[in-house]
Amino acid sequence: MCGFVCLWNLDDEELASRMIRKMEHRGPDALEVLRPKNIPVVMAHARLAIIGPDNGAQPIYQGDNILVVNGEIYNHADLRAILGEAAFQTRSDSETVLHLFRNNALRWVSRLDGMFAFVLATPERIIAARDPLGIKPLYVAHIGEGLAFASELKAFDGVDVTRIEALEPGAMFDSVAGMRRWYRMPQGAADPEPGIDEELTWRELRLVLEEAVAKWMVADVEVGSFLSGGLDSSIIAAIAARQSPKRLKTFSVGLAGSPDLIAARRVADYLGTEHFEHAFTPEEVARVLPHVIYHLESADIDLVRSAVPTHFAARLARRHVKAVLTGEGADELFAGYTYHHAYVDRPRELADELTRSLGTMHNINLQRVDRVTMAESLEARTPFLDRELIDFAQSIPATLKLRRTDPASPESTGPTTEKWILRKACADLLPHDLVWRKKAQFDEGSGAVTALGEALQAMTGSAAPLDRAAEGAVYESLLRQSYVDPDRIINAAGRWVANRVSVAAA
């Protein structure tokens, strides 16, 4: 995992160096700035070495092509075999991007399987692309007649630009051919087809999920797993523990005695993982809050609330591993949020809402996961967002994801059960009561909301808990203090409820 800067038709190595140093946290293993003589570009790269750590330095400069990549290409071994090993000069998975481009296939970028953002330049053109879900960030700005690309908004802070835009997920920009969308989110299914076999469906889901976890564990360094004690992270940890070549390391955080810490400890004991935990305090939360908001690049209340425990988990994990698996994406795929229960009798609206929320993850929850983990030089991996798993999950009818259930049944979480088919698919991996445990948001189960409330009172000197508006004002104030031009950051923030699909009246 890495961070990069690319200046096209802007011959300014000093600017590239200044911008990349604002993102050194993304890649502490190496920092390079390169201006090739035959291409009108300056590229800078901060590297966190995960695959090919000994000879995978970037930018990758070969002949008339130069490339920077942030992310992981999980099918790089297969692509090497197809493209011919003799063409490769490094062991880096990123080099496959260069040779696919040189292969000149019409839809070459669609053959990349992973989480990635990259910029590739030749003497005549520049190409930039982003993975299907936008797991890895990529921004582009106009500076005079040139273009500047960067992995984080903070790289542009204090730089005189015309405008800054995020490259959309699944999009590719080509200075010669223009913009195109190389991946489109498949529309979610609503009602089951006649004669559907539910058991066959959940058994196949299990196989697709196991394959995704195996793929997303590929690395030349040890990969651990976040473990909140909730269903999603516990499923990932359970599958990873079976596939890991050594005893899996798991990481959990929360207030002392919080439900998440207790549940995670129980799951870790059940799975036999090497478990690490940290009990944070309101005083710690107050101390790290400016740091979290600066790196998060957002003052959104819900995002900050979930970013705080993510920060402590990332800091804990980085002491032991360079990469972790997370359960991010399961709620969007399988209807796991509290508000989804209102759609229980409206499968078409639910399927549409899940499709919408998957498409907006890039500047909400995935932004949190990327920024907060990379602030600690940790790579976070999201196997639930594997492209093949998304395709399969979107083909599963919404009626199998959220359904009415008998609260007295041992296989229910109440009158309506969320993520029903995911629970069925993984029921044998974990204790029964955990599989059918009622969901708690990460910030609630960890106690982060309680700790934040106490921290904010202490920071503001308030005698009473802050209401939501006052809480948001504190976060925005901290963000504004961190940036030369904070309005750029604030204006770029995503909103979870934007364009939400409404539930039709009965």
Q: Catalytic site residues?
A: 2
Whole-number Å distance between alpha carbons of 48 and 28 = 6
Closest CA to 11 of 179, 148, 169: 148
CB 134 within 8 Å of CB 369: no
**Structure letter (DSSP) for residue 71:** E
Nearest in space to 45 (alpha carbons), one of 55, 53, 36, 33:
33
- Provide the edge-to-edge strand list for the sheet that holds 41-47: 30-34, 41-47, 2-8, 146-150, 139-143, 164-166
Task: Give strand pairing partners of 323.
Answer: 223, 379
Find, among 98, 109, 99, the residue nearest to 132 by Cα: 109
Closest of 88, 152, 143, 92 to residue 117, by C-alpha = 152
Give the SS3 label for residue 251. strand
Residue 352 per-residue DSSP state = H
Helices (H) and strands (E) in the chain, counts: 18, 19
> Pairing mode, if any, of strands 178-181 and 171-174?
antiparallel
Percentages (nearest 5) of helix, strand, coil residues in the chain: 45, 20, 40
Residue 497's Cβ-count burial label (10 Å; 0-12, 13-18, 19+) is: exposed
Phi-psi region of 345 (alpha: psi -120 to 50; beta: other; left: phi over 0): alpha
Sequence-ordered list of residues with C-beta below 8 angstroms from that of 144, at least 6 positions apart, any chain:
10
